[in-house]
Structure 1
Amino acid sequence: MLITSTEGTQIIEGFIEFGSDGDAVAFGRRALPAIEAALAESGCVDYAMGLDFIDPRKVRTYQNWASAESRIAHTGQAQARSLAAATAELGASRVEITRYSPLVGMSGLTLHSEESESRAASGPPPSAGPNLEKMLQLVQVFMRFDSDADVERHIAYAQEPVLRTREEPGAVEYSWWRDFRNPLTVRLTELWRDQATMFAHVQADHAKAHVEYLKGFDTGPVGDGEERQGAVFFFLEPHQQHGLGVDGL
């Protein structure tokens, strides 16, 4: 596990909602060149889009930029502008994209390791900064499966625990989604009001059962040598939220 200051880091998170599943899929096809271009840009740590498990009319996005300057430079690129155009042309009915400036980040964790579960419960050590337990907790997880059938099984299983989690006190966002660029990769975006509500979720029976279910798909590193799964945590101050709309693409 690595605990780092995230001064300057920009996290972009949110969704675009279309009128139909087909429009969302069409947007995904058009988005692929822009995603590849963004990942090659200076300062891009992560950039992903994909379909929401619960409502496939929603295209979810997660971006991690090393600095405000790199994110701003990205928004001026032709590929970024093409995404905004595609959003309009395909008749997006709703766009909710938010920028966060985290104070502290934790990486090198996995979805169901003992260290991750312990860290979720305790948060970073006091030396990482003051009052972090009272801040918004943003978690981004990825997991790679071996086949489309395995992904589809997970999508079917996840319906109930996702809906139950969204009803929990303090759950601001909780969404599993399938990556456009890597269809065998699924991602989880979590946003919790504070550390206490995130810890309560980790201890819930449906959350524990979901983790146990996912362990059955963790068969070690994938064939290309990349990690099977990973998780990052960010601690955010509530006032650091900034609505962006299509400018966040």
Structure 2
Amino acid sequence: MATKEQGHGLPAPWTKVWSRPVGWFLDHVMYRTVVAGKSNVPAGGPVIFAANHISFLDGPVMFGASPRPMHILVKKEMFRGFLGAVLRGSGQIPVDRSGDRAALHLGKQLLDDGRCVGILPEGTRGSGAAESISNGVAWLAINSGATVIPVAILGTRQGDEHRDHIPKPRRKLHVSFGEPITVKRRKGEPGRVSMDRAAAEIREALADHVQDAIRATGQGLPQDPAPGESTPQHRHTAVAGTPADHP
């Protein structure tokens, strides 16, 4: 099944024809997802959705809740077998987490085409408090000029549930789209300084929005690490960033 447009290698627009209804089904039939802040999402133009990361389900749930279709950066290890076919067929982007500029450049092409890209910049499932994020999201934002929408996802993992836990059907989930932000390179500012500053601004916006969503919904974040797990020794902070570790 081909999912590439001729010429520039972008996922074809038709990938959303079947994947959008599947995302809606996941959010509103399999689970009871409460969505807030849709009006914060621009109706047109490039948008980067930057979400916190607590569960395997975060990407699919954000995909189904969004008022606009998106292409989510997903670790390449997920692109195998049936799941890999589904990811490719829905226009998602495989990323090598050891450092993958090609995936970021493809993301930029999508944004330049006026589309939306989703990224979970914490890089790995954790508490979801956005205490640290990769610079990949900052690179995309600065180099594309796209609007960044912080997204708070709550309920996909609760309490002391293991990071691999998949919640039972009909659980109430929450997806909240925050107020848009833009980040730009300042005149005379070195590239690395711009990248670090932009990443800090996006991290702060995301962390603040997660806390706002917690107060609004009453749904807290899970424990990190879950019992029996060790805390990751480090998180990637290279320009290539660390993409979602789930579909």
Structure 1 length as normaliser, TM-score? 0.35
Higher helix share: 1
Question: What's the TM-score once normalised by structure 2's chain length?
Answer: 0.36
Name the structure with the higher strand share.
1
